Amino acid sequence: MAHHQYQHQENYQHQENTHLQWKSLLKLGNNCFYKKQWDKAEFFYSEAYDLLAFCYRKNPMCSDTLMAWICSCHNLSTLYEQRGKMTLALRFLMVPHDYLLEITKSKIADEDIKLIAFKGISLTLSPILTFNKKHPICNSCIEEFKSLKSLLEQHNNVLH
């Protein structure tokens, strides 16, 4: 019994350290972004992205990790947009959107995971539509992301 309790405490400590680690990576990335230190910001955001993707795959029930991963994607997108790399900017908007869309369509038995994915999609839609207003997305990019075409068509139908 004591070993199990110790192992649980060790897992909790690891999760806590990981939580602090990605938070500090995002904060460091933001500091570099505001100082226009693009390469450093990209490094910190990318590190946070990798760590959060790993954490979310290990624990898909943690909505905080999912939201932070989406945030790291959007930070990378904003960084690439700032640097004029529009294809990369769009990719980092679409990655979380497409991933969450796949979860909602999958045959996962756990409905809570799908609910968390739906919640995440509510955060991925608006930035894509905003990006399209500022930088109209070309047809080849639209074709690259299957969901983008239907998303833009649905949005246009709502407006008309």
Q: Which domains does the chain have, with CATH numbers?
A: 19-159 (1.25.40)
Tell me if 91 sits within 8 A of 122, measured CB to CB.
no
Amino acid letter, 110? D
Q: What is the pLDDT along the chain (160 residues), one digit of tens a residue?
A: 444 444 444 444 556 677 789 999 999 999 999 999 999 999 999 999 999 999 988 888 888 899 999 999 999 999 999 999 999 999 999 999 998 988 888 887 778 888 888 888 888 988 998 998 898 887 777 777 767 777 667 666 543 3
Q: Which residues contact residue 142 at a Cβ distance below 8 angstroms, ignoring those fewer than 6 apart?
A: 148, 149, 152
Residues whose CB is less than 8 angstroms from the CB of residue 62 and which lie 6 or more positions away in sequence, other chains included = 55, 56
120: nearest Cα among 103, 134, 140, 107: 103
Q: What is the pTM of this model?
A: 0.80
Cα separation of 108 and 112, whole Å? 10
Q: Which of 131, 120, 62 is nearest to 90 (CA)?
A: 131
Name the nearest CA neighbour of 33 among 44, 22, 49, 48. Answer: 44
Contacts of 83 (CB under 8 A, 6+ apart): 38
**Residue (of 12, 124, 27, 113) closest to 74 by Cα position:** 124
Contact 57, 40 (CB under 8 A): no
